[in-house]
Chain A
Amino acid sequence: GAVVSQHPSRVICKSGTSVKIECRSLDFQATTMFWYRQFPKQSLMLMATSNEGSKATYEQGVEKDKFLINHASLTLSTLTVTSAHPEDSSFYICSARDASGREETQYFGPGTRLLVL
């Protein structure tokens, strides 16, 4: 099956610093990747849709200048949380859609747990 990796799996940072999270599709090409955030006991909330070679589309209420997304290749998208604050602490999960697949299936990465002190 399709494999999506994320790095790092866990990060602790000080308030005010920036954190970069990488999302890679390992065995398929992904023209579209998605970034979600999940708070404890809540469902996944889509933050943005990342398309290779173009600007990301952000969901309402998500600050594009705070959550920088770059999708430079068909296998890599990055999310940078700039000037992180404690309220940004969450579980960040990316997913990728197989560009060659006929079905609209999204495959999820293992997630990155961010703790901002």
Chain B
Amino acid sequence: QKEVEQNSGPLSVPEGAIASLNCTYSDRGSQSFFWYRQYSGKSPELIMSIYSNGDKEDGRFTAQLNKASQYVSLLIRDSQPSDSATYLCAVLSGYSTLTFGKGTMLLVSP
């Protein structure tokens, strides 16, 4: 059974700090990895995708992938209160089937 594990949190950080969100997955054959942000009562919004080992930066967001360790992370620099949400890690296995983690709740305090 394919699993994606995330710490449920909440992860609390002060405004301006770096938030670090982590995710591990069980399927070694996974090739595509995604981070979604979900505000309460809303549907997920794509933040980042990453496909190869290393770092991928987009604005204040950096995704990191280590396939050997089956680990993917998301760093949010200069965290803002508007970043407070649940962050879902999703792993693509097989043909277009996304497996989601349960999400990590991030709280950024002013």
Contacts and interface: CB of A to CB of B under 8 A. Distances in A.
A59 to B, nearest CB: 9
Query: Among A95, A104, A110, A111, which residue has the most Cβ atoms of chain B within 10 A?
Result: A104
A32 B92 CA distance: 14
A32 B96 contact: yes
A43 interface: yes
Given A104-B32, A104-B92, A105-B49, A46 B98 contact: yes
A103 B49 contact: yes
Interface residues of B, number: 21
Nearest to B92: A104
Given A43-B103, A44-B100, A108 B44 contact: yes
Contacts, number: 46
Contacts of A111: 42-43
A59 B83 CA distance: 32
B102 interface: yes
Interface string B85-110: 00010001000111111110000000
B34 interface: yes
B55 interface: no
9 contacts: A34-B96, A44-B44, A46-B99, A93-B44, A95-B98, A103-B51, A104-B96, A105-B46, A108-B43
Query: Which 5 A-B pairs rank lowest in CB-CB distance, beginning with the nearest?
Result: A111-B43, A43-B102, A108-B43, A93-B43, A43-B100
Interface of A: 32, 34, 42-44, 46, 49, 93, 95, 97, 103-111, 113
